[in-house]
Structure 1
């Protein structure tokens, strides 16, 4: 069997019944229940790293560390560090160093461009344990195929993708997503400018990403959908 050249990836998102992950002001989404938070923490505990966009970080200000004692024990039993690596994606490298994220007890990496690295280093002396660069030197666009090869080479075999919609769209475009967990929450937000799980320019019908439904679970008023992506 040929060893894959990139990590196995799983998107984990909660959305409203009308498919929104935030309101029209793109403010912090707080509609998920305690069961959804526990589900998210469990998925985070199963991977070697989690990836999220700088826009998502700006809205929340923090990431979600693993705190459940059973989940921590499971990671220890598998000879994994207590926390997966928390990887922020930012082509510009312009991130507020005063966010509470930078004081959380988690390993932090920055995935950026050469210009983004310079922007971050010129304004901050620390904050990230590692800075990963893609092979794009002249602009702020990240080469995710190259980036994911680097993650695999650095020992990250499983990676969780926590949003936002622009990042997920870019990864779908490059066929870099293997699984999808969607929590459907019982409310409607509406709004043509509200964030959705997959944004970007969109796909024509012949380019659509097809899914295989693996599991459906209901907990309270929420539905947890687990899909496999046809690559």
Structure 2
């Protein structure tokens, strides 16, 4: 299912903390996926777009060294110029889309301006929380597996203020191992 979501996306949006924590590389597509993407008028593979007001990404990370498509770095003008220059020199497309912060509206407007309309946000919690708080989430694909784990893990979305977005179940798939794959879509008003 993860592969299908990535195949359908024009761009994969992720926060810098998640890129660092999960050692993100570029999106991989099979020959069949590439053909289907071309049939839909999409690029061969979706780029990874990283939100980072500080441009704090290692230019030697997998994001830049293990990819067929240059990542898009969405950053702020106030981010250190040397970091932005190093990312650009490593092959990233660095876009300054805010003075000191990167807002949800700027993210969406910038990606839309690049022709990247179908955005798959893979996290992290702060980015997803920001998008929720700014009413910029239309769907949620959530997988639940039959494993209980304790610990201090945060929610899938973290924001400074509560952000309730009413959703309705669109799809529910169950696997023999007990895994549930769900797709939720925004409830329409009225």
Given the two structures, how large is their TM-score scaled by the length of structure 2? 0.88
CA deviation profile, 1:172-225 (whole Å, cap 9, x unmatched): 11111111100111212222x31321122351xxx5211111111002321001
How far off is 1:67 after superposition? Answer: 2.5
- What's the offset of the Cα at 1:128? 4.2
Q: Secondary structure at the match of 2:89?
A: coil
Structure-to-structure mapping, 1:192-231, within 5 angstroms: 193-203=152-162, 207-220=163-176, 221-230=178-187
Helix, strand or coil: the match of 2:183?
Answer: strand
Q: Which residue of 1 aligns with 2:148?
A: 188
The one-character-per-residue Cα deviations of 1:27-62 (angstroms, maximum 9, x if unpaired) are xxxxxxxxxxxx111101101111001111111212
Correspondence for 1:56:
18
Name stretches of at least 5 consecutive residues in structure 2 with no aligned partner: none
Choose between structure 1 and 2 for higher RCO, CA contacts under 8 A separated by at least 6 residues.
1
Structure 1 pair 219/164, CA: closer, same or farther in 2 (3 Å)?
A: same
Alignment of 1:1-231 (within 5 A): 39-63=1-25, 65-103=27-65, 104-116=67-79, 118-124=81-87, 126-135=89-98, 137=99, 139=100, 141-191=101-151, 193-203=152-162, 207-220=163-176, 221-230=178-187
Deviation at 1:70, TM superposition (A): 2.3
CA contact (8 A) 1:132 1:147 kept: no
Shift of 1:127: 2.8
Query: Aligned-residue CA RMSD in angstroms?
Result: 1.9
CA distance in 1, matches of 2:32, 2:87: 36
TM-score normalised by length of structure 1: 0.74
2:26·2:48 contact (CA, 8 Å) conserved in 1? Answer: no
